[in-house]
Structure 1
């Protein structure tokens, strides 16, 4: 009887630490981020399909990294202006986000709407933000999606004064990440 207690305690501890039976870490290297900005002359829209992100469900932490020059625009001139004049992607090549999913329950397989709190860094300027996200668990994947707005001024993106009246002060950002289990 005593010989059974030790393995039973070990089994219970393992189940408590990972009661979902699923891996703790999930990753995507093809997350999608798009942004849209209204202008009176021509709207600005771009998409980046090469966003890297990792979620660790043992502590509900999330990290995102994306190369700024991976944004694709409909017009090559817009892409050139974005990288050279506004974001200056040669000086500031990537944007990052590090945060925590608040009150996420990995054992709940229904769609969950949660808040993510964290720090977004663009052009080496870090701002605390909160983002409302939808999290879906489908088979062995998690899909995380949402949207939020950024203010151009917060990240010291300089817009020439002649263009300023024609360009929106906020940028609408949308994202969707499809995570697969990560085996370290």
Structure 2
């Protein structure tokens, strides 16, 4: 257990992954977010999510580079990184958690992932209902959560507040393969 926790700490701190024999990894996980208001929809996609899972323990770690989100409008990308997320100060978001009752032998399962999501140096606990699929020697995990922007101290100017939802829908999909050493 201590070895697994140390592995995930190094993963988050250094952007490296120290992985045991049963660990699986995805270096191009997909994370999207969507903000709906009557004034404007804002959507962004990131295909550079880094994540690992331990099949033995169900431990999961995710790192998301904030500047890797792609928007339809370049001005949205600029505002997101400079004004709201402040990517120079907070370059990444992370999630550390555990898949509850994970069974590596099931072909398909719906499980709760409990853990802490950290954004802008603010960490909040989450329970995320996720679909886990096993096919051949790969595992797919997908799900969604809702993030309240006030919880992460994201300030929206009054003039722009009608354009940005107070709660943002975040979706994710990871395709894990055995880590090659």
TM-score of the two chains, using structure 2 as the length reference = 0.86
Larger Rg: 1
Q: CA deviation at 1:162?
A: 1.5
In the alignment, structure 1 residue 140 sits paired with structure 2 residue 116:
no
Indicate the residue corresponding to 2:161 in structure 1.
164
What is the CA–CA distance in structure 2 between the aligned matches of 1:140 and 1:131, rounded to whole Å?
24
In the alignment, structure 1 residue 37 sits paired with structure 2 residue 35:
yes
Do the aligned residues in 1 keep the contact of 2:49 with 2:63 (CA within 8 Å)?
yes
Q: Please tell me the root mean square deviation across aligned C-alpha atoms, in Å.
A: 1.0
**CA deviations over 1:2-21 (Å, ceiling 9, x no partner):** xxxxxxxxxxxxxxxxxxxx
| Equivalences for residues 1-184 of structure 1 within 5 A | 24-108=22-106, 110-184=107-181
Indicate the residue corresponding to 1:9 in structure 2.
none
Q: Which runs of 4+ in 1 moved over 4 A?
A: none
Consecutive unaligned residues of structure 1, counting only runs of 5 or more, are 1-22
Do the aligned residues in 2 keep the contact of 1:25 with 1:183 (CA within 8 Å)?
no
SS, match of residue 82 in structure 2 = helix
Q: CA deviation at 1:94?
A: 0.3
TM-score of the two chains, using structure 1 as the length reference = 0.85
Consecutive unaligned residues of structure 2, counting only runs of 5 or more, are 1-20
Do the aligned residues in 1 keep the contact of 2:132 with 2:139 (CA within 8 Å)?
yes
What is the CA–CA distance in structure 2 between the aligned matches of 1:175 and 1:165, rounded to whole Å?
26
**CA deviations over 1:48-81 (Å, ceiling 9, x no partner):** 0000000011111000001000000000000000
SS, match of residue 104 in structure 2 = coil
